[in-house]
Structure 1
Amino acid sequence: MTNLGRWLVSSDHAVLASEAEARDWIADVLSPTAEQWARLERFAAMLVAENARQNLIAASTVPNLWVRHIADSAQLLDLDRDGAGLWVDLGSGPGLPGLVVAILSERPVLLVESRRRRCDFLRDVAVELKLRHVAVAEARLEAVETRPAGTISARAFAPLDRLIDLSARFSTESTRWLLPKGRNAVKELALLPRAWQSLFHVEHSRTDAESRILVGQGRIAPKKRGKA
C-alpha cells in the first residue's frame, strides 16, 4: 500500500487567518521596499477592478484578497529564496503567482497565458507598475519556445501529470518546481511515475490548513510518445 505521508514535510507554522496577518507575514518574511508595497497595493486594486469586467478570481475571495491570492502567491517566493534565472508561470491568469513574484523580486518572469483578455490585463499591469522584467506569452504552452527555467510555477493550470509532462522541456537539473495543488496534492503525486515522484516533497500551505504545495527540483524527462 502506498504510504502517502512519505513526501510530507512537517510544519508547525500558523495559517494566516486575516488580511492583517497576511500583510504582516509578507512584511516580516519578504521585507518589501516601499516601492514594492506600493506596487502590491496597486496590483491588488487593479485585480479587483478588472474582476468586475472579466472573471479573474472568485468574487467570494475578494474580501480575503491578501490571504487567498497575494500571500498565497508570495509564499512560493519564500520557498525559492535561492532561486535564480527565468521564472515561468504556467496558466498565469490574473498574474497569480507570477506578477506577485515579479513585484517582490528582480527575477525575470514569463507569464504563459492563452486567453487574450487575460493577457491584455497582464500587460497592462506590467506597464503601469513598470515591471520591465516581465514578459507575457499569449499562447498555449505547447506553442511557447523552449527555454531553460530556473523556476516553474502553476497555481491552477492542469492535472499534475499533464502539467509536468507539458512543461518538462523547460526543466534543467537546477529547475525548481513550485506547484500548489490544494487538498489533493499528495494523492496526485502518488499517481505520477516513480521517476517523477522522487524529485518532489510536499509543503504545507500558509493560507489554507488543508492545502499543500508540491516542491521539486531537477530535470524531468517528458513521457515517451508512441510512434505515429
Structure 2
Amino acid sequence: MTASIAAPLDVSRETRERLNCFADLLLRWTARINLISPRDVPHLWPRHIEDCLQLVPYVERGARITDLGSGGGFPGLILAIAADADVTMVESDHRKAAFLREAGRATGCRSRVIVDRIENVLLDPAPIVTARALAPLPRLLDWTYPLLAPDGYALFLKGKQAPDELTDATPGWHMSVDQITSRTPGGLILKISDLRRV
C-alpha cells in the first residue's frame, strides 16, 4: 500500500461550463427528489463536484467506466464530463436514474444508465469501476469483482472509516491498494488493482 495526495484540480473553461450546467440541473431536481442533502446545497462544488474531480488524474481520457450507485451523478457524470469518459451508471432508484439520463443529455457526455440493483447487473467487465460513499468495502468489492476487467482497477471515494474497511476486507481478498489522501477533510481515495478472491 502506498500513500499520496490527490492532484490539484484544474479544468478547462468548456469543462467548467458543462459542470455548471450539471450543477444547475442538479439543484433544480434536488428541490423535487433527494439527490443531495439540503444542508449540502450551499457546498455543492467543494463537497461533491470537486471531491469527484480528484479522480480525473487517475482516468485516461475516453476510458470506459462502470459507476456503481450513481445517485446524483457522483462520480460517474463528473468523470463523463471532465475526463470525456464513456460511463455506464448503475442506479436502482428510478427518479435518480431519470435525473442521470437528463443530466447526461444536457451536458452532452457519453453516459448510459442501467436501472437495477448492482448485484443483478450483467455487463462486460470495465477497465475502471468507480463508487462514492456507497457501501462498506467488503460489500463493495463483492459488487465490483464481476464488473471489473482482470487488468483493471477500482477508484473508490471513501470517508474516515476507510482504513478499518480495508482491514475488514483483507481476509477475503488479494488486492493492491494505493491510498490517496483526499482534498476533502477526512477523506481517502482507494485505487484498487490486482483484485482476486482469497
Instruction: Please point out which of 178, 188, 194 is paired with 1:212.
Output: 188
RMSD: 2.1
Give the aligned partner of residue 75 of structure 1. 54
1:70-109 deviations in Å (ceiling 9; x for gaps): 110110122x144764211100000001111001122210
- Per the normalisation by structure 1, the TM-score is 0.79
Residues 26-65 of structure 1 mapped to structure 2, 5 A cutoff: 26-27=9-10, 31-32=11-12, 34-65=13-44
In structure 2, the CA distance between the partners of 1:10 and 1:126, relative to structure 1 (3 Å rule), is: closer
The answer as to 2:67 corresponding to 1:89 is: yes
Give the aligned partner of residue 174 of structure 1. 151
Given that 1:172 and 1:220 are in contact with CA atoms closer than 8 Å, whether structure 2 keeps it comes out as: no
The answer as to 2:167 corresponding to 1:190 is: yes
In structure 2, the CA distance between the partners of 1:179 and 1:168, relative to structure 1 (3 Å rule), is: same
Task: Give the gaps of 5 or more residues in structure 2.
Answer: none
Q: Letter of the aligned partner of 2:92 in structure 1?
A: S
The answer as to 2:103 corresponding to 1:125 is: yes
The answer as to 2:85 corresponding to 1:107 is: yes
Runs of 4+ aligned residues of structure 1 deviating over 6 Å after TM superposition are none
Instruction: Give 1:197 deviation, angstroms.
Output: 5.3
Give the aligned partner of residue 21 of structure 1. none
Question: Which one has the bigger strand percentage?
Answer: 2
1:32-69 deviations in Å (ceiling 9; x for gaps): 2x332211001111111111111111111111111101
State the SS of the aligned residue for 2:169.
Answer: coil
Q: C-alpha distance in 1, partners of 2:187/2:182?
A: 6
Higher mean C-alpha deviation, range 43-52 or range 197-206: 197-206
- Per the normalisation by structure 2, the TM-score is 0.91
Instruction: Give 1:156 deviation, angstroms.
Output: 2.2
Q: Letter of the aligned partner of 1:26 in structure 2?
A: L
Larger radius of gyration: 1
1:156-202 deviations in Å (ceiling 9; x for gaps): 22221011112201122321211112000011001113463542121
Given that 1:92 and 1:111 are in contact with CA atoms closer than 8 Å, whether structure 2 keeps it comes out as: yes
Q: C-alpha distance in 2, partners of 1:148/1:83?
A: 18
